[in-house]
Structure 1
Amino acid sequence: MKIVKGIVFTLFGLMFINAGLDKFLHYMPIPELEPEVLKAGEAFMTITWLMPLVGAVELLSGLLFIFPKTRLLAALMLFPVMVGILLHNAVYMPEGLAIAGVLFLINLWVFYKNKEKIKGLMG
């Protein structure tokens, strides 16, 4: 089970490293988008600091997620990004909801495994 967890967490981290790097290097192809999705993307791009910030959080969190000692910090950093990804997929791209849901559950799994540490953050 420990090996499976290590593989799952490493793949999770690598997915966010990839997503973060793409926000800076733009190497992944962009599929044909519906006009509504394209309009939303263009709106986000008008906030010039937003995508670099999200990319930096994804990149750093992806790196931190791979290592057990920093995994909780990475999960906390990624939580708002994951909520945004889930909402975006639910509203604009429901076909991506399955993978977004699985990633969100992995993030929640880290919270559950560290619930005693998180209690101190909740006051």
Structure 2
Amino acid sequence: MKIASLVARYLLGFIFLVFGLNGFLHFIPMPPPSGVAGDFMVALFESHYLVIIFLLQLIPAVLLLANRFVPLALTLLAPVIVNIICFHALMAPAGLPMALFVTVLWGLVAYGVRSAFAGLLQVRVADAV
């Protein structure tokens, strides 16, 4: 399982590094989506919200590849991945398999550092006195 987590960390970091950099450098040509997905992307682009999204892909990707602050990188990527899944599930289903693949990678990496999240998964917390 340790090797699977390591490979998943590198793949996840590489995927988000490439797509995060592509948001700034535009080296992968992607036609704009049509319909509601296109309208949504235009709104994100014109509001400059995509800059934040691409930064939230790029910074955790570098952290994952450098093996530094991996739980923080996973925490930053989690809402990005949820939004990617929702976008593809509701507006552009063609990208859903890749989104699910990224989710599986995220889960494998998170499983490898599950002890870092142990405090978040407590049913009850003792009252601080």
Unmatched runs of 5 consecutive residues or more in structure 1: none
Alignment match, 1:110: 109
How far 1:71 moved relative to its partner? 1.9
Kindly indicate whether residue 79 of structure 2 is the aligned counterpart of residue 76 of structure 1: no
The amino acid that maps onto 1:107 is W
- Superimposed CA distance per residue, residues 47-81 of structure 1 (whole angstroms, 9 cap, x where no aligned partner): 22x11111111111111112444222111110000
- Superimposed CA distance per residue, residues 81-117 of structure 1 (whole angstroms, 9 cap, x where no aligned partner): 0000000010112121111111112212333333332
Instruction: Return the alpha-carbon distance in structure 2 between the equivalents of residues 117 and 6 of structure 1.
Output: 16
> Could you tell which deviates more after superposition, 50-59 or 31-40?
31-40
Unmatched runs of 5 consecutive residues or more in structure 2: none
How far 1:2 moved relative to its partner? 4.6
The amino acid that maps onto 2:6 is G
> Could you tell which deviates more after superposition, 6-15 or 93-102?
6-15
The amino acid that maps onto 1:55 is F
Alignment match, 1:7: 7
Alignment match, 2:35: 35
How far 1:18 moved relative to its partner? 1.0
Instruction: Return the alpha-carbon distance in structure 2 between the equivalents of residues 61 and 26 of structure 1.
Output: 19
| TM-score using structure 1 length | 0.84
Overall identity of the aligned pairs, in %: 26
Q: Counterpart of 1:30 in 2: which secondary structure?
A: coil
Q: Counterpart of 1:120 in 2: which secondary structure?
A: helix
Count of aligned positions: 122
How far 1:35 moved relative to its partner? 2.5
The amino acid that maps onto 1:47 is S
* CA separation of 1:110 and 1:10: change in aligned 2, threshold 3 A: closer
Q: Counterpart of 1:86 in 2: which secondary structure?
A: helix
Structure of larger gyration radius? 2
> Could you tell which deviates more after superposition, 69-78 or 50-59?
69-78
Alignment match, 2:45: 45
| TM-score using structure 2 length | 0.80
